[in-house]
Structures are given as structure tokens and as C-alpha cells.
Amino acid sequence: MLKNILKLEGAQKLTRNEQKNIHGGDVPPTCYDPETELYSCPLRVGRTWICIYC
């Protein structure tokens, strides 16, 4: 599979450090409570996100 990917124009193999620095798909949640109509602040704890009141 890697050989096929590297055949794509502009594709290159990433170093181990470059791979570790990719945070794909890990975005903070929208911390909005429709019942109270208040926003809270996202806080990352380990690999999970939680919403706390600021």
C-alpha cells in the first residue's frame, strides 16, 4: 500500500518524528449546552476532550 501511495504526485515518506507530530482528526468539541444556552471551554485530558465552565 505504501508503494502505491508514494506513486502519487507530491507524496513522500514521513520520518518517525513527522508521523508523531500529526494530530489527525483530534479537534476540540463544540462545548455548547442548548438547555442553558451557554458555551464552556474545551479541555484536553490525555487523549480525550471534556467541556468545563470557564
pLDDT tens across 8-53, in order? 888 888 898 888 777 666 777 789 988 989 999 999 898 888 999 8
pLDDT-based confidence at residue 5 (cuts at 50, 70, 90): confident
Q: How long a stretch of residues is the chain?
A: 54
The Cα-based distances of 5 to 16, 17, 25, 41, 43 in angstroms read 17, 19, 20, 39, 35
What is residue 6's predicted lDDT score, i.e. its pLDDT? 77
Looking at residue 23, what is its pLDDT? 65
| β-bridge partners, 49 | 44
Contact 43, 49 (CB under 8 A): yes
pTM here? 0.44
- How many separate domains does the chain show? 1
Residue with the bigger pLDDT between 3 and 40: it is 40
Q: Which three cell numbers stand for residue 27?
A: 479537534
Instruction: Give φ, ψ of 43 to 5 degrees.
Output: -130, 130
Q: How far is Cα 35 from Cα 33, in angstroms, rounded to an integer?
A: 6
Q: Which domain holds residue 34?
A: 2-52
